[in-house]
Amino acid sequence: MTDTVNTPSIVILISGRGSNMVSIVEAINAGELPVEVAAVISNRPDAAGLNYAQKASIPTAVINHKDFESRDSFDQALAKKIDTYSPSLVVLAGFMRILTTEFVDHFAGKLVNIHPALLPKFKGLNTHQRAIDAGETEHGASVHIVTPELDDGPVVMQAKVPILANDTEQTLAARVLEQEHKLYPAAINQLLNNPNG
């Protein structure tokens, strides 16, 4: 597939279908993203994205958050598992867990997330409806470095879409997701292969 000697590796964390994970794998297979996926890890054993990863011959693991008494103990187990792969980057792709400061600090500068808004606007949930309600004319997605504060780290790259007069939360979300699938591989490529570009 790729020359693994100098190829940076990533670990992708998912909680569900992992549509952004799929777009990253497709970009790799198309030769657009010269990285290797060392593993896909989920906190949910029933995450649909695990099946996709397995069919793509990507190693998978499940660290079920329900098996742990505290967020700290879950994060410690997750960090330990990720460390076995020594990834260049840890990619959050629909990973629906708030991570502890200790976890974020452990992977400082190597942990990235995609957020469906033009940060610093609309941190948190329900971003599409909030953007419509606020009368915004454009919306989009941001790839950012994860810091202990939610959706607050440095922005790596953004993609914008116009908000149309007849947009609903669903139609806007669909257009933003389409852009996310292009944006995330491009941002990962920039971080790993053109860090100064």
Neighbours of 120 (CB within 10 A): 11
Q: How far apart are CA 173 and CA 191, in angstroms?
A: 26
Which tokens hold the place of 8?
């940076």
Q: How far apart are CA 21 and CA 28, in angstroms?
A: 11
Backbone angles phi, psi at 187, to 5 degrees: -70, -40
- Contact present, 91 and 11 (Cβ < 8 Å): yes
Q: How far apart are CA 193 and CA 88, in angstroms?
A: 11
What are the residues whose beta carbons fall under 8 Å from the beta carbon of 7, sequence distance 6 or more? 34, 35, 36
User: Is position 115 annotated as part of the catalytic site?
Assistant: yes
Active-site option among 106, 115, 139, 144 = 115
Q: Which residues have a catalytic role annotated?
A: 115
